[in-house]
Structure 1
Amino acid sequence: MSSQGEQLKAKAQKKAASSSGFSFFSSSSTKFEEAHDLYQSAANAFKMDNLHQQAGECFCLAAEMALRNDEKDDAANDFWAASKAYKKSNPELAVAALQKTIQLYKEKGRFRQAADRHKEIAAILQQEGGDLAGSLEAYEAAGDIYMNEDAAASANACYKEAAELAGTLGQYPRAVSLFERVASQSLGSALTRYGVKEHYLKAGLCWLATGDVVSTKRAVDSYCAADPSFATTREAKFLEAIADAFDAGDAEEYTAHVAEYDRLTKLDAWKTALLLTIKRSIAEEPALT
């Protein structure tokens, strides 16, 4: 015996198939609308039965019916519903549905919602799909749209995520650019200024991870010039100390500074991983003869 979802899907398919042409009593647009509603009902029935793949498929079919009637807002909402259903079983299809949602939102000028969906793609790729490079691109795309829409706080939140992913992936110049961008934006507000030292610290660590000590020290100087209070912080002094130890090729001194900083201010997993990468590069430096 077929489920309610299957029965409703069959009715929707039959209704859609009969939608060609025009009769005195009903137009094809009316039948597409009826098919749309039946596909939505089928999708919800499949959701009730925890059949997420089938639910996602029916939401996509509902979106196609909406597009036949040029109802782009409805189609975008259907593709978004499809992505939430697919997310539970197939992250790749969830991302594809969200990309269609974004395209439709942009066509309708709904850019803030498009940015929101880019952020959802980033989270899915990072958490469900393990695609850090794709997640980085999606977070940065979201940030760019938010910034164009004068939503600086939302933009900076995305840029911070993108910056950390860039650092994790070894894309250090890109990470530096993003962290410095967030820091610059944060300096303009009393509400966000407190976080500037953290952004500068992460940017400085990414600079040092490139192995360019001179540029690292110049960067720290530029941070102090942009925000004079940064020079007195533990973060600035830590960057200067580990840059000197790196320059001297002294892994023990470097480790001592890291341990001391961690004792006073607990290092998170991202900084710890980057600091270990930097330490390994000290050990790999050829000895001077």
Structure 2
Amino acid sequence: MESADSIYSKAQSMLKSARGGFNFFGNRRDKLEDAAEEFRNAANRYMGEQKHETASACFVEVAKIQNEINEGYDAAMAYVEASKCMNAADLAPPVRAEKAADLLSQAITYFTTTKVDYYRAAKLQEQLVAILESGDRLQRAIRECKESGKNYDYGQVTASATGRKMYLKAAELSAKLGMADQEEEFVIWTGETSSNYENITTGALHEAISLFEKVAAGYKQSGAAATWTIKECYFKAALCWLMIGCKKNEVDSINMALTKYCEMDKAFPTYLEYGADIPQSLVQAIEKKDREGFVQIRTTQAARFSTLPEWAHKIFAACEENFFYAAPAPYVYQGEAGGEGMVADDDDDGEIDLS
């Protein structure tokens, strides 16, 4: 059986021949197509040998040739295959994820610029987000989640619900980034230095709030039967406000937010699982400096908290530490830092201005 290296060498020779000399009557195109097919054969053989990074490079050659003969769709699909191979490569997770994401982005660009198919682009972006999450590249995953949501919105009316799910995922990831620990998680998830920690994590919490509110507003405007999701969004946005207040050693922010959320949804104060009563009770305990009451609320409501993500429990722990054991100097959010600050978009639908 012919080796992968031998097939690859043959493909290179065929490509060189196709691009050189004189090629008449469409002969050049035929030769390029043959070279692309040979690179594809080499890629498949390399995959069988578990040489995924080399297989990815072969698919990239296929994509370049397809672009050269104006077969954009085939080029995009070749980039998809290249991304899959790269994502299976034996590399450090963040490096593997970034390289695989860059390749998949080439395919997405085709479906958002040349052959416009926003729904297809959004589906590919979902895959891209999964790749970035697997490599702990949270900051880029958040951006791609939002882009996927936009492309679902552009794609077709029936996809708008899927778009909201992507915005909701972006909100969850933003909140997770906002509660990253400074030493390890933050640096890995963002690629930033720890000197930008406070600014970026606070910005991520603001971003999460904006997105949670956007999703809630979208469901309310569409008339969709998503009462539970709307309450969940308000509840989680309130927790983010609680953490922002914790950083500044105040509870005015969350009190204002809870008032607005309760006005927007009259059932929110009494909703069983994601009701406003829990954050309201926590705030009251903080205002009374009642640590025992604060802890009791957390423990007695454990069943209701069990479905919350880790970042929410980190908020409870941080508030207990900061409000009852320390009096930190208020932190003033400075906006973007290092060019990658996570700042809420001013034009996001459904955002509540609490300034």
Per the normalisation by structure 2, the TM-score is 0.75
Q: Deviations over 1:191-225 (max 9, x none)?
A: 42322111111111001111152231222222222
* Residues 1:220 and 2:258 are matched in the alignment: yes
What residue number does 2:321 align with?
280
Count residues in correspondence: 285
What residue number does 2:235 align with?
201
Q: Is the 8 A contact 2:97 2:137 kept in 1?
A: no
Q: Is the 8 A contact 1:213 1:243 kept in 2?
A: yes
Q: In structure 1, what is the Cα distance between the partners aligned to 2:136 and 2:305?
A: 30
Q: Deviations over 1:31-81 (max 9, x none)?
A: 111111111122122222222112111111100110110111000000001
Structure 2 gaps, min length 5: 90-95, 179-203, 329-355
Q: In structure 2, what is the Cα distance between the partners aligned to 1:146 and 1:18?
A: 43
Q: In structure 2, what is the Cα distance between the partners aligned to 1:116 and 1:247?
A: 46
Q: Which amino acid aligns with 2:37?
A: D
Structure 1 gaps, min length 5: none
What residue number does 2:176 align with?
168
* Residues 1:82 and 2:82 are matched in the alignment: yes
What residue number does 2:119 align with?
112
Q: Which amino acid aligns with 2:313?
A: T
SS at match of 2:276: helix
SS at match of 1:249: coil
Q: In structure 1, what is the Cα distance between the partners aligned to 2:319 and 2:116?
A: 45
Q: In structure 1, what is the Cα distance between the partners aligned to 2:31 and 2:289?
A: 75
The Cα RMSD (Å) is 2.1
Q: In structure 2, what is the Cα distance between the partners aligned to 1:13 and 1:276?
A: 59
Q: Is the 8 A contact 1:126 1:135 kept in 2?
A: yes
Aligned in 2, Cα 1:48/1:271: closer, same or farther, shift over 3 Å? Answer: same
Q: In structure 1, what is the Cα distance between the partners aligned to 2:206 and 2:215?
A: 14
What residue number does 1:28 align with?
28
Report deviation, 1:274.
2.2
Q: Which protein, 1 or 2, shows the higher relative CO under an 8 Å CA cutoff with sep ≥ 6? A: 2
* Residues 1:93 and 2:99 are matched in the alignment: yes
What residue number does 1:236 align with?
276
Aligned in 2, Cα 1:284/1:114: closer, same or farther, shift over 3 Å? Answer: farther
Per the normalisation by structure 1, the TM-score is 0.90
Q: Is the 8 A contact 2:46 2:52 kept in 1?
A: yes
What residue number does 1:141 align with?
147
